[in-house]
Amino acid sequence: MKIQFIWGPGGVGKSHLSILQAYQSTYASTALFTLDPSRRLFDLLQISREKTRVDVKLKNKKFFLCGLEATQLFEELSQKSIANAKVRIFYEQMVKGLQEFREYLSLIQLSDEINKSTYERLVIDTPPLQEAFGLQRAMNNLQSFFSQSLIQFALKGQQAKILHSTMKHAFELSRVFIGKKSAERVFEFLEWLGTHADRFQKAADQLTKLSYSEETEHLFVLSPETAFVRLEDIQKLSKPFKNISFVINRSVFDEKIPDENDSFCNEMREFKNLESKLIQDLKRLFPKSEISRLPYQLMGDDTEEELIRFSESRMTKVDVPKST
C-alpha cells in the first residue's frame, strides 16, 4: 500500500489538494482518510457529516472516503471491555475537551484502518498545521503517554506498594482540583483505558514506523503567502520524515502582471514576489525536496463542477529561479 500524508496550514487548499491526489491516483483502488475534525472533505464532496465511510464517485473517478472519529473507536473498545456509564461520559468529555486525546484516538483509528485496508493507494488528509503538531507529538509520544502515565500506575498500583501510595497522593491532589466524585471517575476511566494500553502501544509503534518510512510520501501544501515562521514549523514537524515534497497552490509565478496600480495588479504582484521568496526559502531549507505549483484559479463556490475542475489541474515542477 502506498501512503501519502497531506499537510498544510489552514486556508491554503489542503482539503482540495487531498481530493485532487485521490482523484488523480492511477492505482487500481484508492482510499482517502481524513484526520481533520472539521471534516471539510465531506462538505466539499457534498456528503453528509453523519456518514463516516462512503464510496465516492467524482465524474468517472472512484475512491473510498473515511473520516476518523473517536466515538466509533469507543464503541469498539467497549466491546472488548465494558465501559460503564460514568466512563462513557468521561470518555466523551475527554474527546471533546482534550485535543491531544482526540489526536491519540484518531491515530489509533488510523492504525486500525491501515491494517484493515486493502486499498493500493491511501491518501491521508491531516488537520491544519498548528493542530498537526499535536498529531506528531501524539505519534511520538503515544507510547510514552501510555507507558509513563497514570494508566500504568493504575495497572501496577494494585501490585506494588510504592506505586500504590503514589496513586493515593495523586488521588488526593486531584480531589482538591476536581472534587471527590470526579476524581473517582478519572481513576475509573484510567483503569478502563489501561485495559487497552497494549493496543495503543502497538498502534503507536506501527504509525511511527510507517510515517518515517521512505515509502511514505509527505506532501506539504502552501500558498505564496505562507509566512516564513510556518516553514520553520514544517522543518520541525517533518524532521523524521524521509520523503517530503511541496506544492504551492494559488501560484501566479508564470503570470505576466501589467504595471498598473489597482488593487488587483498590486495583489498579484505581491503574490509573485512572495512566491519567489517562498521558493528560495524552500530550496534552502529543504534542498532535497521536490517543489510543484498549481496555478491560481477562480474558486469559492464549493460546487461539484468547481471541485472537478480543480481536481483535474496539473501540478508543474518548479525550476530554481536564476537570481538568488
Footprint of another protein on this chain (CB under 8 A)?
9-12, 37-38, 40, 43, 89-90, 93-94, 96-101, 128, 130-131, 145, 148-150, 166, 169-170, 173-182, 186, 190, 227-229, 252, 255-258, 260, 262-268, 270, 295-302
Q: What's the closest the beta carbon of residue 287 comes to another protein, in angstroms?
A: 23
CB closer to another protein out of 53 and 96: 96
**Smallest separation, CB 170 to another protein (Å):** 5
156 vs 175 by CB, closer to another protein: 175
Q: How far is the CB of 260 from another protein (least distance, A)?
A: 6
Amino acid, res. 152: Q
Closest CB to another protein among residues 29, 174: 174
Nearer to another protein, 12 or 237 (CB): 12
To the nearest whole angstrom, how small is the minimum distance from the Cβ of residue 317 to another protein?
19
The C-alpha cell 477562480 sits at 298
Residue written as grid cell 510514552 = 144
Minimum CB–partner distance for residue 242 and another protein (Å): 28
Q: Are 321 and 276 in contact (CB under 8 A)?
A: yes
How many other CB atoms sit within 10 Å of the CB of residue 84? 13
Q: Which residues contact 262 (CB under 8 A, 6 or more apart)?
A: none
**Please, what is the minimum distance in Å from the beta carbon of residue 113 to another protein?**
23
Burial 206-222 (b: 16+ CB within 10 A, else e): bbbebbeeeebbbbbbb
Helix/strand/coil percentages in the chain, nearest 5 = 55, 15, 30
Cβ nearer to another protein, comparing 65 with 183: 183
- Collapsing DSSP to helix, strand or coil, 81 comes out as coil
Distances (CA, A) of 269 to 226, 252, 260, 280: 16, 9, 10, 17
φ/ψ of 176, rounded to 5, equals -60, -40
Which is nearer to another protein, 7 or 119 (by Cβ)?
7
Q: Which is nearer to another protein, 28 or 176 (CB)?
A: 176
- In terms of Cα–Cα distance, which of 87, 96, 80 is closest to 196? 80
To the nearest whole angstrom, how small is the minimum distance from the Cβ of residue 190 to another protein? 8
Rounded to whole angstroms, the Cα distance separating 32 from 182 reads 39
Q: Which residue is it, cell 475542475?
A: 309
Nearest residue to 278 via CA among 221, 214, 231: 231
Beta carbon nearer to another protein, 41 or 124: 41
Distance of alpha carbon 13 from its chain centroid, rounded? 14
CB of 8 to another protein, least distance (A): 10
Contact call for residues 77 and 70 (beta carbons, < 8 A): no
Nearer to another protein, 123 or 138 (CB): 138
How far apart are CB 252 and another protein at their closest, in Å?
Answer: 8
What is the Cα–Cα distance from 140 to 149, expressed in whole angstroms? 15
